[in-house]
Chain A
């Protein structure tokens, strides 16, 4: 398996634009997690899915953020409209055993100008 695949690797956009981050989990994993990493706050869980259903979205910072998982092999994290303070590295991770054994993607470096 190729591991967790995220795209794009880098994204530069202007304030107010819509941003969509993509994730393909490892085949057979039924848990998918979105994390955000910043210098100020470190790594934070934004939302996670189990069997494509959002279970806990309490970490989503505000309504500008939304996440979907239309099928077992694809998830998106959308920010609309984006703001400079959203600049961070966004990680997707998947697991077949809750969060005990996470496999992380390479992350998307988002810069909002």
Chain B
């Protein structure tokens, strides 16, 4: 079974600075998706960024980018120019091509300080 590990329960960053959230996963599969979801205090889960394992190029979405290291099974999220609205729980998630059971990590609580 796939597992997703987020080793940083909490992190903080000053506004306008850069922060990196870590994620590792365990799988024997070759084809899969990886995701970062944001959960602000409003509780809704919001997709931040998505990576397909067969793509070597790291995904980017505006201030958000990932460092995908397939051999190391690592998928970190970098947030540049942090904003107060980035304060939230961030979840790393894994999805096999073969099923619809998305596996989530335990989450990292990020606080952006003014």
Q: Which residues of A contact B (CB under 8 A)?
A: 31, 33, 42-43, 45, 48, 55-56, 59, 89, 91, 93, 98-102, 104-107, 109
CB atoms of A104 and B101 under 8 A apart: no
Between-chain CB contacts (< 8 Å), 19 pairs = A31-B100, A42-B106, A43-B104, A45-B101, A45-B102, A55-B100, A56-B100, A89-B43, A100-B33, A100-B95, A101-B47, A101-B50, A102-B45, A102-B102, A104-B46, A105-B44, A106-B42, A106-B43, A109-B43
Q: How far is the CB of A93 from chain B (nearest CB, A)?
A: 8
**Which residues of B, 1-49, contact A by the 8 Å Cβ criterion?**
33, 42-47
| Residue numbers in A under 8 Å from B106 (CB-CB) | 42
Q: Which residues of A contact B101 (CB under 8 A)?
A: 45, 56, 59, 99
Contact of B105 among A33, A42, A106 (CB under 8 A): A42
Assess the B45–A56 pair: CB atoms within 8 A.
no
Chain B interface (Cβ < 8 Å from any Cβ of A): 33, 42-47, 50, 91, 95, 99-102, 104-107
Shortest CB-to-CB span from A45 to chain B, Å, is: 5
Shortest CB–CB separation between residue A15 and chain B, in angstroms?
24
- Complex-state Cα separation, A8 to B99, whole angstroms: 30
- The dominant DSSP class at the B interface is loop
Tally A-B pairs: CB < 8 A: 43
Given A42-B107, A99-B95, decide whether A48 and B43 contact each other with a Cβ distance below 8 A.
Answer: no
Chain A residues, Cβ within 8 Å of B100: 31, 33, 45, 48, 55-56, 98-99
* In the complex, chain B residues whose CB is within 8 Å of the CB of A106: 42-44
Interface residues of A, dominant DSSP: strand
- Least distance between A111 CB and chain B CB atoms (Å): 14
- Chain B residues in 8 Å Cβ range of A59: 101
The distance from the CB of B105 to the nearest CB of chain A, in whole angstroms, is 7
Expressed in whole angstroms, the minimum distance between the Cβ of A38 and any Cβ of chain B is: 11
With contacts A33-B100, A43-B104, A45-B102 known, is A102 near B43, CB below 8 A?
no
